[in-house]
Structure 1
């Protein structure tokens, strides 16, 4: 962390430099100069991003040679990614239409590099230090990255995440996953937004294949249930929280974009007690009713001290 006075001086200098040509070179030089200071680098990153969310990907693998890959494969991947983020944004907003605005920077140096960035708001508000800001497209890009991260190591939560998505988003995600599998890419990169630490992202052919399988699987049984307990952890990058019921075993639940601020607020309080409404999905793989997988998606949550839901338990 850096002192408030130093932060204000840095922000004032950056704001003034932004009005002149070549400001990008100054921020680049400052980024290099402050490489020893995570606090300074975060301030510079927040100033650059403002209300944008950024997914920085480096493609490698069997079909990347000397920082080169086939243009048609890369073009299909970028187009399908833009379509998937658009469909996710429509699902988040509950709209049938959404004007796509995902930006791309690259390909750039370093393996085959491509940077996806949500578009800025037409009129940006002055950034407030430490404030988390995500636009609709930013939330969709975040959800896109979260799904691939879950595909690497959280199979049950991946299934819970995709079952809540509208059909258009599921079809678009399947196509992106197929692009990665067909090109045999191993993708590493990072996800970041204002007020957030940089989170590593990995998209492997194996993980992409899991996502393709998950979006095609059908839920067997679903129920909605109120559960009292405590928020036991919150992971922004994966959109997942840990929940410990008052009785019984703890579980992990997917947190939709519109509930993430509520979960973060409860997790940030000394008292983490809460009442949540969860959609519980039970899946019987390959029709085998002797084995089942259960997953949870948060539908609503309130801090226990403020909750009217306790009366419904």
Structure 2
């Protein structure tokens, strides 16, 4: 993509973020903009990101197995959706640090096209007494939790089961015990039904992410959900941030010593925002602190799983922020 094209996309984002205050006029303007960019895939992607709902929407299409045309077993489908909703609530409770947390997910009317179901986190209630900062997207605990559940299901299905794949068990380990149990139950329903799932995760001003769930991936996830790691240890390492995956909550880290690079889970949104900020400075040395657990007995079969608990600019360890 050329610099001029990137500039066009920036202008498109700015235009889509402008508002007249009248929803009907804004909708007309957006329709006019879309008509002019409908044949440009990159521009359409920007349009979808900027006009997506404010909170996470997961659009799932179930295919294969018990799906016949646009139908599937009602009881199994209901249990699958219920377990995903309950698991999301359990993760949201952990994210919010709440003693209790209700099931808040909404479900859109089912639609043809294999068997389609749309799960969405409810929007933030409007408070006219408080100022709105429309340029600052805010994810609710439900949005964060639903994105995390979708990400784990997808990661289990789109990565190999090679011995050096350390990320899935680390992602699973960060889930509350109740969420792990419910996700295992949802996986059981998928395996019994023989479903394969394809879809998307959308949220305004975030990159649209694909959701892919295969039978092999679900079986792998169910196995990982049962793993029992060692007690955690902590280690601080100097190195650079190689990248990150915001939707999954993952950092890719390259140590300054002779060790090979690795991935680690980032458990909190606040820490992930810091990772994003630090990664914008190319080749910046940072000090990253990881919580580390191991699995396995014999030395050649030991797996190491890491969770990032802190990261700071290497020369700023004594500062409160970065």
CA 1:83/1:26 → structure 2, altered by over 3 Å: closer, same or farther? farther
- Separation in 2, partners of 1:115, 1:31: 23
Question: Residues of 2 paired with 1:237 and 1:280: CA distance?
Answer: 22
1:94 matched to which residue of 2?
97
Q: Residue in 1 aligned with 2:82?
A: 79
Aligned to 2:63: 60
Instruction: Write the distance in 2 (CA, Å) between the matches of 1:26 and 1:78.
Output: 36
Shift of 1:280: 1.0
- d(CA) in 1 for partners of 2:56, 2:197: 18
> SS of the residue aligned with 2:232?
strand
Q: Could you tell me how far 1:44 is from its partner in structure 2?
A: 5.1
Match of 2:280 in 1: 268
1:127 maps onto 2:138 in alignment: no
How much does 1:204 deviate?
Answer: 1.1
> Is 1:220 aligned to residue 227 of structure 2?
no
Contact 1:232 1:243 in 2 (8 A): yes
CA-to-aligned-CA distance 1:78-115 (integer Å, 9 cap, x gap): 11110010001112222231122111223223211111
Query: Paired residue for 1:256?
Result: 267
Does the 8 Å CA contact 1:221/1:283 hold for their aligned counterparts? no
Q: Deviations over 1:219-263 (max 9, x none)?
A: 134211111111011112332211011102211111113321111
> Does the C-alpha gap of structure 1 residues 15 and 77 become closer, same or farther in structure 2, counting only changes over 3 Å?
farther
The TM-score normalised by the length of structure 2 is: 0.83
- Structure 1 vs Structure 2 CA RMSD: 2.7
Does the CA contact (< 8 Å) of 2:49 and 2:207 recur in 1? Answer: no
CA distance in 1, matches of 2:187, 2:29: 38
Of 234, 240, 259, the match for 2:244: 234
Q: CA contact under 8 A between 2:52 and 2:203: conserved in structure 1? A: no
Map of 1:282 onto structure 2:
294
- CA offset digits 1:265-291 (Å, max 9, x no partner): 11122343211110111101xx55652
Query: Structure 2 vs 1, CA of residues 14 and 67 (structure 1 numbering), >3 Å: closer, same or farther?
Result: farther
Structure 1 stretches of 5 or more lacking a match?
none
1:43-90 Cα deviation digits (max 9, x unpaired): 45433412x012111110121111221222211111111001000111
Distance 1:194 1:232 in 2: 26
- Among 146, 152, 156, the alignment partner of 1:147 is 152
The answer to whether the Cα contact below 8 Å between 1:34 and 1:41 also exists between their aligned partners in 2 is no
Instruction: Report the Cα distance in structure 1 between the residues aligned to 2:151 and 2:220, rounded to whole angstroms.
Output: 14
Kindly state the Cα deviation for residue 10 of structure 1 after the two structures are TM-superposed.
4.5
Aligned length: 301
| Alpha-carbon distance, 1:307 to partner | 2.4
Deviations 1:177-227 (A, max 9, x none): 112111110001111222222111111121112221112111134211111
